[in-house]
Structure 1
Amino acid sequence: MEETISLRELFDILRKRLWLIVLITALATVVSGAVSYFVLTPIYQASTQILVNQAKSEQQLYNFNEIQTNVQLINTYSVIIKSPAILEKVKNELRLDRTLDELNEQIQVSSEKDSQVFSVTVQDPDPAMAAKIANKTAEVFKNEIVKIMNIDNVTILSKAEVKEHQAPVKPKPLLNMAIAFVVGLMTGVGLAFLLEYLDNTIKTEEDVEKHLGLPVLGSISIISPQAANTTRTAMSMQRARRETIGR
């Protein structure tokens, strides 16, 4: 016969292990907050926008095919802008003390669908350095693309700037603490049920009927030391009274 557990029993298990659930949840939240605020290095972000569009004279008309070509070129430009040919010049001109692979990981290139504009985003522990790398990458790319592809259709739309009181993009302590709270709560609840499952000791009459399948005929109550002393004193007095009457 399959054992079933009622909703009341679930709440009883949670109530019995409530201290464990609260401890694990609080510990996970506090540790996550401490790591986010005091251990992890804040990372700042700066972005610059680049337009892919060849300069036109007033006599030239709107050319849809050329715009489509420019849009398709962005995929190629996204690869070129993170290539060693570009990043090596950025590293040398800014005198960066990092490898090309590390610099490559800092730079992200993204573009909107069917748009001639793409963004170069840089993340760095120093907000000023993030802006410098973003602007220098766009500048070097604009100058070098003419030599690489023999085409001049790149314009820098906006430069990266360091904002006043700029907030880091990561870590996000409140989000990390919220996630840690949920994970800690789930871990605590799961551990509470696991401990209950592994606990095969018999503590109550209900445990006897449940685990052994035997009816309970009686139980022996636990007498506290104070009650035991009172009982012994009363019995001694009764015994003394009987002896006195017997004499």
Structure 2
Amino acid sequence: MSTLEETISLRELFETIKKRFLLIISITMAAAVISAIVSYFILTPIYQSSTQLLVNQEKTDQPYYTNSDIQANLQLINTYRVIIKSPAILDLVREEMDLEITTQQLTSKIQVNSEQNSTVVNLTVEDPDAVRASEIANKTAEVFQREVIELLNVDNVSILSQAVPANGPVKPRPALNIAIAVVVGLMAGVGLAFLLEFLDNSIKNEQDIEKKLGLPVLGIITTISEEDFDQLGMRESRKLHDQRGESLGA
């Protein structure tokens, strides 16, 4: 019994999807088109540029680094990450580059991170202008390398690589956005199809009477089209004509 009910339920699900298939496809396509328009024509492209800093032990005559020296440098990195994004550094960057943005806005453009157990610090800048993103990254690294000597009285920061303008934006990603929109649109279309089916209380056939009203079907009135009606009338006319002929023959 349960298997039969499950089969009927699956059949109803497929029937609902088939019935509202055009609606589902329309919503999915609309979502994909809207996502493409927003991604290509509305959202501002964001470019990313990065430079790398190397944190070393303070310069001495010692020709090699011990394990304790490396551990000390690793502990300094968290401090350096905070200092790089502090007003003490970024205010100077704004002034030297003559940027018409606030320090908070500049801070939001900069990301500072490091690999685990590594003394290399990655300084990444995101900006709508690819050239300006690389210039901000290089200037921030330069100012930090210069100012950390006075702030912490150490000279252990070297610039490993200069930032260069990116060839393409990192955001938005139109292909990814469109793929997400297709999935969301498909889910929304299927959900709307089942919602409309659930809210539809109209009676279309005898199965709806049993399902929606819970009443048994005692009989069915067949719908006769105009063509069938005409054919039925012609048959009745012929029958009457034949009957008259038989009466006259008798």
Question: C-alpha displacement at 1:105, in angstroms?
Answer: 0.5
Distance 1:69 1:10 in 2: 64
Any residues of structure 2 matched to 1:162-201 within 5 Å, and which?
162-163=165-166, 166-201=167-202
Bigger drift between 216-225 and 34-43 goes to 216-225
1:21 to 2:24 alignment: yes
Work out which of the residue numbers 50, 66, 78 in structure 2 matches 1:75: 78
Distance 2:93 2:137 in 1: 9
Question: C-alpha displacement at 1:60, in angstroms?
Answer: 3.7
1:54 to 2:70 alignment: no
Deviation string for 1:85-117 (max 9, x for gaps)? Answer: 111111111111111111111000010011101
Describe the SS at the equivalent of 1:47. strand
Q: Which amino acid aligns with 2:116?
A: K
Question: C-alpha displacement at 1:56, in angstroms?
Answer: 4.6
For normalisation by structure 1, the TM-score amounts to 0.89
1:142 to 2:161 alignment: no
Q: Which amino acid aligns with 1:29?
A: A
Describe the SS at the equivalent of 1:146. helix
Q: Which amino acid aligns with 2:37?
A: A
Q: Give RMSD over aligned pairs.
A: 2.3
Any residues of structure 2 matched to 1:77-116 within 5 Å, and which?
77-116=80-119
Distance 1:112 1:232 in 2: 91
For normalisation by structure 2, the TM-score amounts to 0.88
Quote the sequence identity (%). Answer: 55
Distance 2:61 2:85 in 1: 34
Question: C-alpha displacement at 1:215, in angstroms?
Answer: 2.6
Q: Which amino acid aligns with 1:12?
A: E
1:65 to 2:68 alignment: yes
Describe the SS at the equivalent of 1:6. helix
Structure 1 residue runs without a partner (length 5+): none
Residue number in structure 2 paired with 1:42: 45
Deviation string for 1:45-102 (max 9, x for gaps)? Answer: 0000001103555644422112111111111111110111111111111111111111
Distance 2:103 2:241 in 1: 99
Distance 2:122 2:227 in 1: 80
Bigger drift between 191-200 and 36-45 goes to 191-200
Bigger drift between 212-221 and 63-72 goes to 212-221
Bigger drift between 63-72 and 118-127 goes to 63-72
Question: C-alpha displacement at 1:233, in angstroms?
Answer: 5.5
1:33 to 2:3 alignment: no
Deviation string for 1:113-162 (max 9, x for gaps)? Answer: 11101111001111100000000000000011111111111111101012
Structure 2 residue runs without a partner (length 5+): none
Residue number in structure 2 paired with 1:157: 160
Work out which of the residue numbers 11, 15, 27 in structure 1 matches 2:14: 11
Q: Which amino acid aligns with 2:45?
A: P
